[in-house]
């Protein structure tokens, strides 16, 4: 009797039709991170029980723009780049769970379906958006150089509405790339039941690490950040009160799997 | 302690950010259905155990193109139509489970993220694609009239490759709209574990019915259908050997929930 | 020696590569028109000399949303609808020239290249945008019926910014479809010289009429209209002060050619 | 009396609405060039009289993919990158005119309207397409390094059909970047009359040079190139018979204006 193949739906006889090829997945890209403080109560309101706010700087938020190339372990997507390239914008906060501090992505938009599905697997709550981010250049005038004074813009829109506008100007090299998105991720994987009122079909807390991590030297700078309203977003609830820092660098990593910390169908490990 | 709201991720304090609003969902659209026979072994190869092929006409396949408007129970999406309109193309076969005959969608593409996520909830294995379908017109020459001789084209592409090309010419009114996509749906809801080698986090068989179903009179006609190859599709494995019929009509329905028939975490009901 | 064929560039040996096939062009579509008054000085500021404002109601403006299907005289685009369907949003004012009153499109956005090029040929100053417009339905709840109480939304965005938001509610049948976009068009066809400071390579005033015009009965209604700002638009300069009327109907026409009234290379006809 | 401002339509009171800001325009980007030989008669068929084929290697063709950032002299587009970034794919041949040898772009696709209009100004016969091109990376595995063995893919599609597929593998540094696209451009600027049967409103031969030209060191390599058929293209008429060479580098230039060599309204300069 047939066994369907494929990492995610659609599962098929050969497994080629899956919305995303199986892990490991390899990523290389350029990343702009802007960290700011909002009202800590607004961050706390984004953390489902039993997650708790970070004790230190509980209103810290990172908005990240990234321009990625990614591929499976066959590397074949790199030669058909419509299947490899995507851009994303996302919002990260920190939280505590069982005494450990984590990073947590609360909102995220990408521009390809394979990236959306891959994110859902990892607990990134992805939706589609249109993301633009200035490229640094090495020749000519139509772009910033990776050096002090280099200026970048980045925008997100979704549903034909502009949601985030960011600007970044390099002031110098940086030892840090920020602290909000620097911890292991703590994500929810949630899927409602097909039956009204029933418990979710999937309701997990997971954590994950990437491997073969590599990064270019980082740049820091000044930034401006504006979050706009939309009937289908709650971004303005976490509007910036104060900027913390802004960073730019190239990053690469591979990802194979995460760890399930807790499931609504029975905990694993040290209990809660 | 905060409870996150929202039907699907991203879950948020107010629940507005969810990729799709909660059901019920209401649909109105135009639907072109082309039914054909392929090698029955190719249909059987698309049915995971314990599903079995239909005894009667086991190689029957339906390719369906649809141009939808949909909304939640607030109806507000209808006034911001970027959130209401989408197009889709999908492939349906029939299968037997526990002695009942079902329709089953094996491949499907849509052009909006809310439709993709809604499909995943319903077990439709949606990916993104670009779908085009001739509109009938009531004035002028730039389109077919809904009458004998009216000619329609429909195409699907994904990953910048054309995957399906269909043509349809109305020959007359029809009592039927076909039989392949006419049964209750039997879908798999499948989500892999975040941990390599672990059992899936969700692996369910579900069935569902819509309600408040309404349809215009149907038209039947002649059709041509070509399926193209792609490194990320297996469509040509179910290439048409013989056309059965082709139909066009407007359809509406509402959908609230389905029924879980079986889960990998323990069966429900009459066992298997 | 080879003669290049093709109505517009790229011109090629067979003429198939042209961005748009040769006229006549046939159109069928649905059209939402919202008429309002703005400061008459702002309309006058949009009229290049020697055009003059209309004497009567000189601040009248029409914003029009349209969902079109169009084709060449081969009609083959209708069977490959990615080449036939497009949506547009445009702004029309009235003007006087040589004692005649005309309609004049001052801003317009479409979502396909063939429509953009065709517009440039006709003097419509087209740019690309994303246009959405509620469809009426005949079955179900996911859309308005063409009857009193039917509610429609329409939006334009470009450059990932929302530019126009409109709403329309049918109040009853209408004898009129408005007056601002009801006259022969008076358009400029303008193309700068490749040489800085030289006279334009094309600078014409043209007028045009379509033929085989057909329309459904019209509906009138109430409307809301908001114009948003953008660094690359001047829409808010003509913000509505007072709504005049709003109309919806299906329209069809064919178009073959226009008439050149005046060229910067020497006038034709009765002089200026 | 009002004077309309703006480099191209739509011309407006402030000049901000023009589809493209005025020159000079600055460009920085990555360029993949693949040169091959086709049947020289097929190249000759693409050259309108009085252009003549190159004496030497008359069947040489270059297919070029480019990923650009561009801006006006205000540089403001670089901070709103949806207005600065675009990709293009184009086909170049050589031709002789009045005893001089030129490069000539015969087909070209871009993915933004400002790039399309700017191309029309320069005589590039631009249409819209979807262009993808592998990025080189400096960290990680998800992309080629700019070094021998680095592999790139590039694709063009338009009208939801894939038109060009290219692959490139770096073999080493290169002194050359090819010869087909290395000469001053000789372009036609052509716009039909609004009146059937009348002489074109614009029919010019122009040439142009950029300035402040800068380039990175170039890489050469091996390549594969496939051109696909479409009802609206004539690419397969110039299918490759033999590859000549393939090159990759970063390029920058500024462009202000060109020179009109000949107009259908009367020649300028040294006659023909």
Q: Which tens digits make up the pLDDT trace of C170-188?
A: 999 999 999 999 999 999 9
Q: What is the pLDDT of residue A93?
A: 98
CB contact under 8 A, D142 and A216: no
Which of B22, B92, B201 is most worth mutating to test chain A (most A CB atoms within 10 A of its CB)? B201
Which contacts qualify for D142-150: CB closer than 8 Å, 24 or more apart?
D142/A26, D142/A27, D142/A28, D142/A29, D142/A68, D142/A69, D142/A70, D142/A71, D142/A78, D142/A84, D142/A252, D143/A28, D143/A69, D143/A78, D143/A84, D144/A78, D144/D170, D146/D170, D146/D219, D146/D248, D148/D172, D150/D219, D150/D221
Q: State mean pLDDT over B28-43.
A: 98
Q: How far apart are CA A216 and CA B264, in angstroms?
A: 45
Choose, out of B73, B82, B129, B139, the residue to mutate when testing the contact with C (most C CBs < 10 Å). B139
Which residue ranges of chain A lie beneath pLDDT 50?
Answer: 266-272
pLDDT at D138 over 70: yes
List, in order, residues 6 or more apart from A254 with CB less than 8 Å away: A24, A25, A26, A27, A210, A211, A212, D140, D141
Vertex C249: Cα angle to C246 and C252 (nearest 5): 135
pLDDT score of B239 more than 60: yes
Q: Do D142 and A84 touch (CB under 8 A)?
A: yes
* pLDDT tens by residue, D147-198: 999 999 999 999 999 999 999 999 999 999 999 999 999 999 999 999 999 9
Q: Left if phi > 0, otherwise alpha if psi is -120 to 50, otherwise beta: which for B133?
A: beta
Distance CA(A232)–CA(A197), nearest Å, equals 24
Phi/psi region, residue A41 (left: phi>0; alpha: psi -120 to 50; beta: rest), is alpha
Element housing A39 (H / E): none
Q: Is C190 on the interface with D (CB under 8 A)?
A: yes
Nearest to D257 among C160, C188, C194 (CB): C194
pLDDT at residue D267 greater than cutoff 60: no
Chain B contact for D131, CB < 8 A?
A: no
Asked if residues A218 and A168 have their Cβ atoms less than 8 Å apart, the reply is: no
> Helix C113-122 crosses helix D113-122 at what angle (to 10 degrees)?
50
* Residue C79 main-chain phi, psi, to 5 deg: -95, 0
Buried b (16+ CB within 10 A) or exposed e, B256-269: ebbebbbbeeeeee
What is the distance between the alpha carbons of residues D256 and C193, in angstroms, rounded to a whole number? Answer: 12
Which has the higher per-residue pLDDT, C165 or B268? C165
Sorting pLDDT into bands at 50, 70 and 90, what band is D265?
low
What is the rounded CA–CA span in Å between residue B71 and residue B8? 16
Maximal C-alpha separation, chain B: 64
- Identify all chain C residues contacting D19, using CB atoms and an 8 Å cutoff: 125-127
Distance between CA D176 and CA D217 in Å, rounded? 9
In angstroms, how far is CA C60 from the centroid of its own chain? 16
Distances (CA, A) of D44 to C12, D57, D108, D181: 11, 12, 18, 16
Decide if pLDDT at C267 tops 50: no
* Nearest-angstrom CA–CA distance, D186 and D96: 9
Searching chain B, which residue's CA lies closest to the CA of residue D132? B160
Q: Is the dihedral of CA A265, A269, B3, B5 positive or negative?
A: negative
Indicate yes or no: CB of C196 within 8 angstroms of CB of D19.
no
What DSSP state is assigned to residue D12? B
Chains in contact with C via at least 3 Cβ–Cβ pairs below 8 Å: A, B, D
Residues in chain D with CB shorter than 8 Å from the CB of A71 are 141-142
Angstroms from C263 CA to nearest CA on chain A = 37
Look over chain D and give the mean of its residue pLDDT values, rounded to a whole number.
Answer: 96
Q: Cβ contacts (< 8 Å) between D202 and chain C: which residues?
A: 191, 201-202
What secondary structure does DSSP assign to chain B, as a single string? ----B-SSSSPBSSS--SSSPPSPEEEEEEEEEEEEE--HHHHHTTS-TT-EE-SSSTTEEEEEEEEEEEE-TT-GGGGSGGGTEEEEEEEEEEEEETTEEEEEEEEEEESSHHHHHHHHHHT--EEE-EEEEPPP-SSSSSS--SSTT-EEEEEEEETTEEEEEEEEEEEEEES---STT-SPEEEEEEE--SSTTSPPSEEEEEEE--EEEEEPPEEEEEEEEEE---TT--GGGG--SEEEEEEEEEEEEEE--EEEEEETT---SS--
- What was the ipTM of the complex prediction? 0.95
Question: Number of C-alpha atoms within 13 angstroms, CB side, residue B158?
Answer: 29
Inter-chain touch B78–C253, beta carbons under 8 Å:
no
Subunit contact A195:B259, Cβ cutoff 8 A: yes
User: At residue B272, does pLDDT exceed 90?
Assistant: no
Nearest CA in chain D to B228: D161
3-state secondary structure B28-90: EEEEEEEEEECCHHHHHCCCCCCCEECCCCCCEEEEEEEEEEEECCCCHHHHCHHHCEEEEEE
DSSP string, A177-216: --STT-SPEEEEEEE--SSTTSPPSEEEEEEE--EEEEEP
Among all residues of chain B, which has the CA nearest to that of D157?
B160
Contact at CB, A155 and D69, closer than 8 angstroms: no
Residue D203 exposure: Cα atoms within 13 Å on the Cβ side: 16
Residue A27 at interface with chain D, using a CB cutoff of 8 Å = yes
CB D234 within 8 A of CB C6: no
A223/A151 Cα distance (integer angstroms): 10
Provide, rounded to the nearest whole percent, the portion of chain D with pLDDT above 70. 97
**Taking CB atoms and an 8 Å cutoff, what residues of chain A touch D71?**
141-142
Give the model's confidence band at D264: pLDDT under 50 very low, under 70 low, under 90 confident, else very high. confident
What is the rounded distance in angstroms from the CA atom of residue D10 to the CA atom of residue C271? 26
Mutation site for B-interface testing, chosen from D111, D129, D130, D160 by largest number of B Cβ within 10 Å: D160
Looking at the DSSP assignment, which residues form a beta bridge with residue D17?
Answer: none
Cβ atoms within 10 Å of D100's Cβ, excluding its own: 12
Please report which confidence band the pLDDT of residue C269 belongs to, taking 50, 70 and 90 as the band edges: very low
Q: For testing the chain A interface, which of C111, C160, C162, C226 should be mutated: the one with the most A CBs within 10 Å?
A: C160
Contact D112 C123 (CB under 8 A): no
A-B interface: how many C-beta pairs under 8 angstroms? 192
pLDDT at B269: 38
Of D207, D252, D257, whose CA–CA distance to D66 is shortest?
Answer: D252
User: How many contacts (CB atoms, under 8 Å) link B and D?
Assistant: 17
pTM over 0.95: yes
Mean pLDDT of chain C, nearest integer: 96
Contacts of C37 by beta carbon, 8 Å cutoff, 6+ apart: C57, C59, C60, C61, C240, C241, C242, C244
What are residue B157's DSSP bridge partners?
B130, B162
Q: How many other C-beta atoms can be found within 10 angstroms of the C-beta atom of residue B153?
A: 24
D75 part of contact set with chain A, CB < 8 Å: yes
* D78 and C CB contact within 8 Å: no
CA–CA separation, D92 vs D180, rounded Å?
Answer: 7
Distance separating alpha carbons of residues B220 and B171, to the nearest angstrom: 6
Asked if A252 and D139 come within 8 Å (Cβ–Cβ), the reply is yes
Q: Which residues in chain B touch residue C251, judged by CB atoms under 8 angstroms apart?
A: 139-140
Q: Which residue of A has its CA nearest to B126?
A: A10
Spell out which residues of chain A touch residue B231, defining contact as CB-CB under 8 Å. Answer: 16, 76, 80
pLDDT tens-digit map of C61-120: 999 999 999 999 999 999 999 999 999 999 999 999 999 999 999 999 999 999 999 999
Task: Write phi, then psi, for C26 (nearest 5 degrees).
Answer: -115, 140
Examine the pLDDT at D272 and tell me if it is beyond 60: no
- Assess whether pLDDT exceeds 90 at residue D131: yes
- CB contact, 8 Å: C76 with chain D? yes
The residues with which D202 forms a beta bridge, in sequence order, are D191
Give dist(CA B238, CA B47) in Å, integer.
Answer: 13
- Chain C within 8 Å of A161 (Cβ-Cβ)? yes
Give the mean model confidence (pLDDT) for residues B35-57. 98
The residues, ordered by sequence, that sit 6+ positions from C33 with a Cβ below 8 Å of its Cβ are C62, C63, C64, C177, C178, C181, C246, C247, C248
Are the C-beta atoms of residues C258 and C206 closer than 8 Å to each other? yes
Please indicate if any CB of chain D lies within 8 Å of the CB of A130: yes
Q: What is the pLDDT of residue C271?
A: 35
CB C194 within 8 A of CB C138: no
Q: Is the per-residue pLDDT at D269 higher than 60?
A: no
């Amino acid at each position: 009797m047939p066994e369907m193949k494929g990492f995610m739906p659609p599962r098929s006889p050969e497994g080629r039709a899956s919305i995303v090829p199986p892990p490991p997945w390899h990523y290389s890209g350029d990343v702009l991170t802007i960290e700011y403080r909002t009202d800590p109560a607004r961050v706390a309101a984004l953390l489902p029980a039993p997650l708790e706010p970070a004790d230190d700087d509980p209103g810290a938020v990172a908005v990240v723009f990234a321009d990625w190339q990614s591929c499976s372990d066959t590397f074949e997507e790199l030669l058909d780049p419509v299947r490899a390239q995507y851009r994303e914008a996302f919002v990260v906060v920190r939280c505590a769970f069982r005494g450990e501090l984590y990073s947590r992505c609360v909102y995220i938009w990408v521009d390809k379906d394979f990236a959306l599905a891959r994110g859902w697997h990892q607990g990134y709550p992805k939706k589609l958006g249109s993301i633009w981010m200035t490229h640094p250049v090495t020749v000519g005038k139509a772009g910033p150089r990776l050096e002090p004074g280099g200026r970048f813009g980045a925008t997100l829109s979704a549903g034909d509405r502009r949601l985030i506008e960011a600007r970044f100007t390099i002031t110098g090299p940086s030892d840090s790339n920020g602290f909000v998105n620097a911890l292991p991720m703590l994500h929810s994987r949630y899927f409602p039941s097909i039956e009204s009122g029933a418990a979710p079909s999937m309701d997990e807390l997971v954590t994950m690490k990437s491997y073969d991590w590599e990064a270019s030297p980082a740049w820091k700078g000044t930034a401006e950040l504006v979050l706009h309203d939309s009937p289908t977003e709650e971004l303005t609830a976490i509007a910036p009160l104060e900027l913390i820092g802004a960073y730019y660098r190239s990053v690469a990593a591979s990802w194979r799997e995460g760890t399930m910390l807790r499931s609504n169908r029975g905990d694993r490990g040290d209990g809660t």
